[in-house]
Structure formats: structure tokens, C-alpha cells
């Protein structure tokens, strides 16, 4: 039987990861956090003292990286060269590095196969910035998740505080606006909504409200797909 793929795209801090994870859990699908893959590459560049915008340096690094997705107790963990880096890649510094390396075509090609193979073999909910447009253009359901920059910065700021990471709200908002610009204006696979994606604006919503909206969209599409 053909697998089902759900693509969730949108800007940083729109709630993609947490909503996609919850949706996958409810559907019994595998959740693929593509942002974590780019973060893992960005983290390795920073760790080696390189410039994440230096495409030559980054390209040279790729053959020495073995990036894997593993699912432990139902949660996605990212391993690079057999080391679990899932918790180390969540800082604002790594977030900016991820945005920079994701603009390098060689990095995208390096990670594409891993993402597509996962979707080919499993029912997936995959989130990122170009899932519905580039990675899985034939995804069964496409959702473009968004929220105002202030709302997204508030969420990210709260998340960082809960993890004990020092940051000011102003810095988080500034980083958010810069990342939005970088993601939307890069030459390679810029952030944009797929023509057949449904927009869900989560500004002002509770997590539960946003999840309910997405679940309804998915259920309607799955019902249409099965002809019921």
C-alpha cells in the first residue's frame, strides 16, 4: 500500500516541529524534523571553527559526516558520526548556522536522499521550509504554518528560558526577523508556500487549537483520498 506523506512548511518558530510531532503521534506516523538535520550540519561547522557561509569549507566537511535519524521511544534523535547531537543543536547560534548552511546546494543534496527515503518507506509527517515545494512536491497533504514574528519570537524565547538558555526577547525577535529574511531570499530553495498548500495562521492560538485545526484538515484530505 502506498505510504502517506504530510508536508508542513513555514517560518522559524511557527510551531512546525511541536505540531508536526503531535500530529504524527496521533496518526501513528513517523515524524521527520528536517530542521534538525540542517542544524546538525551547522553545529558541526561551528564545532570545527568554520564559517557557515563558506560553501567550500562546508562542502569539504560533508563527506566526513554520517547523519542518521533514529527513533527512540517514539522520539526522533539525530546522530552525526554515531554521536547523538539532538540536544546540542537547539541554541540560537546553531539556528543561525543552520539557516546559512541550508542555503548551500551541496548541503541540501546531501540531506535530500535521507529525507526522501524515509518518506518512501514510511507514513510521515515532515516539517521544514521547502518540504512541499522541493523535498516532497507530491506530498499527499501540504500545510503552510505561520504566525506573526512577535508571536513566534515569544514562543522561541519561552522555549529557550525553559531550557535554561540565556537570551533577551529583543535578540530573539531580531534573530527571527533576520532568519525570515534569509530563508525567504536565499537562492537555493527559498521559503515559500506551495501552490496547493493550506495556510494555517497560529497567531493567538493555543497549541491545542492549532493542532485541532490541522487534524481536521488532514482528516478531510485522508477521507477524500480514501473516497469516503
Question: pLDDT digits over 17-30, tens only?
Answer: 899 999 999 999 98
CB 166 within 8 A of CB 182: no
State pLDDT tens for residues 126-148.
Answer: 998 889 999 999 999 999 999 99
Alpha helices in 127-189 (DSSP H): 149-162, 169-185
What is the model's pLDDT at position 200?
97
Kind of pairing between the strands at 124-128 and 5-9: parallel
| Residue 218, H or E segment | helix 207-226
Using CA atoms, how far apart are residues 63 and 195, in angstroms rounded to an integer?
35
Residue 45 buriedness (CB in 10 A; 0-12 / 13-18 / 19+): buried
Instruction: Say whether pLDDT at 201 is over 90.
Output: yes
What is the mean predicted confidence (pLDDT) over 200-212? Answer: 95
Amino acid at each position: 500500500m502506498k505510504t502517506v506523506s504530510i508536508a508542513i512548511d513555514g517560518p522559524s518558530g511557527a510551531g512546525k516541529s511541536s505540531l508536526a510531532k503531535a500530529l504524527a503521534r496521533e496518526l501513528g506516523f513517523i515524524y521527520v524534523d528536517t530542521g534538525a538535520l540542517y542544524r546538525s550540519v551547522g553545529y558541526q561547522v561551528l564545532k570545527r571553527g568554520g564559517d557557515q557561509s563558506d560553501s567550500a569549507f562546508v562542502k569539504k566537511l560533508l563527506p566526513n559526516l554520517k547523519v542518521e535519524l533514529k527513533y527512540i521511544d517514539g522520539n526522533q534523535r539525530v546522530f552525526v558520526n554515531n554521536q547523538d547531537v539532538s540536544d546540542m543543536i537547539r541554541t540560537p547560534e546553531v539556528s543561525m548556522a543552520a539557516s546559512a548552511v541550508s542555503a548551500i546546494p551541496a548541503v541540501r543534496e546531501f540531506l535530500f536522499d535521507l529525507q526522501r527515503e524515509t518518506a518512501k518507506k514510511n507514513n510521515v509527517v515532515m516539517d521544514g521550509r521547502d518540504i512541499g515545494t522541493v523535498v516532497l512536491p507530491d506530498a499527499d497533504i501540504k500545510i503552510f504554518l505561520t504566525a506573526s514574528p512577535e508571536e513566534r519570537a515569544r514562543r522561541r524565547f519561552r522555549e529557550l528560558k525553559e531550557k535554561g538558555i540565556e537570551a533577551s526577547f529583543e535578540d530573539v525577535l531580531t534573530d527571527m526577523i533576520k532568519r525570515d529574511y534569509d530563508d525567504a531570499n536565499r537562492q537555493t530553495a527559498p521559503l515559500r508556500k506551495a501552490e496547493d498548500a493550506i495556510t494555517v495562521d497560529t497567531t493567538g492560538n493555543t497549541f491545542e487549537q492549532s493542532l485541532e485545526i490541522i487534524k481536521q484538515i488532514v482528516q478531510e484530505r485522508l477521507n477524500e483520498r480514501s473516497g469516503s
